[in-house]
Amino acid sequence: MSAISTYCPRCQRSLEIPHEFDNVICPGCATAYWIRRHGDLISLSEMWPDTADSRRRENAAAVIESRLAEIDELMDAAESEIESLRSREQSAPLQRGCAFFGLFMIIIGVIALFMLVGKGYVGGWLFYASVAVVTLLSLARIRRKLVSAAQLQELRQDRMQIEDGLAQLQAERDRIQKLGANLSPGEPND
């Protein structure tokens, strides 16, 4: 997560602003700013310019709580997606086993059908042709349904990418919680 470095216009404390943010709160003076982007440049404008410091801290705390709730929702969605991708990765061998078991059962079914209905055809060309057709159709179905090595690798890469994003969200959540702790009314300003 890249960030823009600047200074608070009010207290001159350094600010690190992630590119995704459209607002920021100075940990030094608790002033909340809207971020306006102009190409690679940014401008900061106060959200509540005429409020007292205690009101500013309350508003900053509300913005922080809102952002934390948003990040928590994103983290829950990412964890859910990771679990889904992980289960799809791990189910590939099981799918293969189930597919071959299904093929085996269909062949057993064809043999049983011929044993019951067409006893005279067992061992004949019609019996072997039927078994071959059922086997080929089942293998084609298995091939379509199975996860290939490339698809499995893609699932793994997607999962790893989402895990990296989750780690970034956790770091951002920690940063915002630290900012909120710095803005708590019991602590002195820097």
User: pLDDT tens digit string along 71-118?
Assistant: 899 999 999 999 998 988 888 778 778 888 888 888 888 878 777 777
Amino acid residing at 167: A
Please give the pLDDT value at position 89: 84
Runs of H (alpha helix) within the chain: 53-116, 125-145, 149-182
151-175 residue pLDDT tens? 889 989 999 999 999 998 898 888 8
Q: What is the pLDDT of residues 28-59, one digit of tens each?
A: 777 788 888 877 778 888 876 655 566 666 77
pLDDT above 90 covers what percent of the chain? 13
Enumerate the β-bridge partners of residue 3.
18
- Among 51, 47, 80, 77, smallest CA distance to 64 is for 47
Domain chopping of the chain, boundaries = 3-50, 75-167
Q: Which residue has the higher pLDDT, 1 or 40?
A: 40
The pLDDT value recorded for residue 170 is: 92
Confidence of residue 187 (pLDDT cuts 50, 70, 90): very low
Confidence band, pLDDT 50/70/90 cuts, at residue 183: low
**pLDDT reported for residue 83:** 93
Identify the pLDDT of residue 161.
93
